[in-house]
Amino acid sequence: MENKTLKFPKGFLWGAATSAYQVEGGNRNDWSEWEKKNAKRLAGEAKNKWAKWQQKRFPEMFDPQNYICGRACDHYNRFDEDLDIAKSLGLNAFRISVEWSRIEPEEGKFDEREIEHYKKVLEAIRARGMEPFVTLWHFTNPLWLEEIGGLECSKFPFFFCRYAGKVFGRIGNFATYWTTFNEPTVILLNSYLIGAWPPTKKNIFTAFRVYRNFGKAHDLAYDMLHKMSESVQISLVSAINYLEAKNKNSILDKLSTFIAEYIANGKMLRRVKHKNDFIGLNYYVHKKIRFPFYQERYKKNTSDLDWGISPGGIYHVLKNLRKYDLPIFITENGLADAEDKKRAKFIKDHLYCVHKAISEGADVRGYFHWSLLDNFEWDKGFWPRFGLVEVDYKTMERKIRPSALEYAKICKNNHLQT
Ligand code: BGC
């Protein structure tokens, strides 16, 4: 990279993202119950699931306790301290999610104290000069809903919309940017096509029902929230992978890539196209596609999870998203890197590519690094460390990683020095 100062557009949002279940602690929902039943199994499977070097470096993967979210980062009680750190890093935006199981612990009964809690969090974010982004659903369901079918339940769109309306009615004016669902396609894949995540149902027909429910619920919530506020901006957060043909000269590989792109990346986005005020993009994965549908993860320069680091992919994804003609916020991008050896370069390389896409017309308005804190990485538990800030899960002490200071320079200057 040549020596250059790459300026980002005025008002660009620099943030970090979190999700309630992964950081708060003390939640009881479909995930917490699933973990209790599956922690031992997950610890036992680690030996065959992860490479020798990963097993050696992260022996906690063999401990069933690793898979129990429990008090997570105790962010529910320490949000002030965590937001102070975010502010000290020069962030001017912050993404949270609100936990449905706290807000509506029993069907139709809303806990005002919990809504009040999130009001305080939003006030605290704003008081520190950061723009809040609020996600209403980040992977978890209240138990009462799970008992009657969860995402499959025919009344799911109604339940979700009622919850969204309640939350928005009380704290809607504390944030402009709201997102309904985080990465519906990741849930369709992991829960209903692979069957590895709760409710561990591998069934393509169920997957279709859930897909339709996500779409309907989003539409209903979009219309309702817009009726309640003129200024609100609403989106659905999409996980979009960079997919390329394994063999660029093979028509069949190209055809498979086109179909995979059409379904995996495009279907949900097209579904909500008319009710999407901006695109929320989560970018992590680069895959090579071989006919008919073999997928290979890009494996160069991998993270602790062995996911390849491919900054160029975000450039292609952003260019591709231009066809929707909507502002784009990168709502997540990050890597598991416990020793913090690759994170600073990861951030700079991705931002270099984001800048390139902007200079070629992509309307990118913000970047949220995943994540502010190390946190609970779903079925993998605590060992993958995604934080700009390290968390000692025993003492709950926070330690700012060197890469966070590098990111802070970019945020504070609104430019990237190459
Ligand atoms: C999810 C996060 C998750 C991150 C890293 C995203 O797909 O939204 O909850 O922690 O990826 O795997």
Confidence at residue 315, expressed as pLDDT on a 0 to 100 scale: 98
d(CA 141, CA 149): 10
pLDDT value of residue 78: 98
Confidence of residue 1 (pLDDT cuts 50, 70, 90): low
Residue 363 has pLDDT above 80, yes or no: yes
Asked if the model's pLDDT at residue 224 lies above 80, the reply is yes
Stretch 386-402: mean pLDDT, rounded? 98
How much of the chain, in percent, has pLDDT values that exceed 90? 99
What are the pLDDT digits (tens) for 318-330? 999 999 999 999 9
Active site residue 183: yes
At 2, the pLDDT band (50, 70, 90 cuts) reads confident
DSSP 196-213: -STT----HHHHHHHHHH
Q: Are 177 and 233 in contact (CB under 8 A)?
A: yes
Instruction: State the maximum Cα–Cα separation within the chain, in Å, rounded to a whole number.
Output: 60
Counting ligand 1 atoms within 8 A of each CB, the residue from 378, 380, 391 with the most, and so the one to mutate, is: 378
Q: Which domains does the chain have, with CATH numbers?
A: 5-417 (3.20.20.80)
- As a whole number, mean pLDDT of residues 134-138 equals 99
Looking at ligand 1, which residue's alpha carbon is closest to its atom 5? 377
Query: Which residue from 138, 268, 346, 370 has its CB within 8 A of the most atoms of ligand 1, so it is best to mutate?
Result: 370
Q: DSSP characters for 76-144?
A: HHHHHHHHHHHHHTT--EEEEE--HHHH-SBTTB--HHHHHHHHHHHHHHHHTT-EEEEEEESS---HH
- Over residues 60-78, the mean pLDDT reads 98
Average pLDDT, rounded, for the chain: 97
Closest ligand 1 atom to the C-alpha of 183? 8
Rounded Cα distance between 324 and 316, Å, is 14
The DSSP 8-state label assigned to residue 155 in this structure reads T
Amino acid 293: pLDDT: 86
**pLDDT at position 137 over 90:** yes
Neighbours of 300 (CB within 10 A): 8
Q: Is the pTM of this model over 0.95?
A: yes
- Do 8 and 355 form a contact (C-beta atoms < 8 A)? yes
Which residues, in sequence order, are bridge partners of residue 63?
none
Structure tokens at 333: 């991008």
Residue 92 phi, psi (nearest 5): -120, 15
Mean pLDDT, to the nearest integer, of 56-69? 98
Please give the pLDDT value at position 391: 98
pLDDT in tens, 237-293: 999 999 999 999 999 999 999 999 999 999 999 999 999 999 999 999 999 999 998
Contact 379, 42 (CB under 8 A): yes
Digit-coded pLDDT (tens) for 306-319: 999 999 999 999 99
Q: Is pLDDT at 357 greater than 90 in this prediction?
A: yes
pLDDT for 52 beyond 90: yes
Could you give the CA distance from residue 380 to residue 287 in angstroms, rounded to a whole number? 21
The pLDDT > 70 percentage for the chain reads 100
In whole angstroms, give the CA distance from residue 20 to residue 117: 12
Ligand 1 atom 12, closest CA: 377
Residue 105 has pLDDT above 70, yes or no: yes
pLDDT given at position 240: 98
Closest CA to 279 of 208, 183, 359, 370: 183
β-pair partners for 398: 391
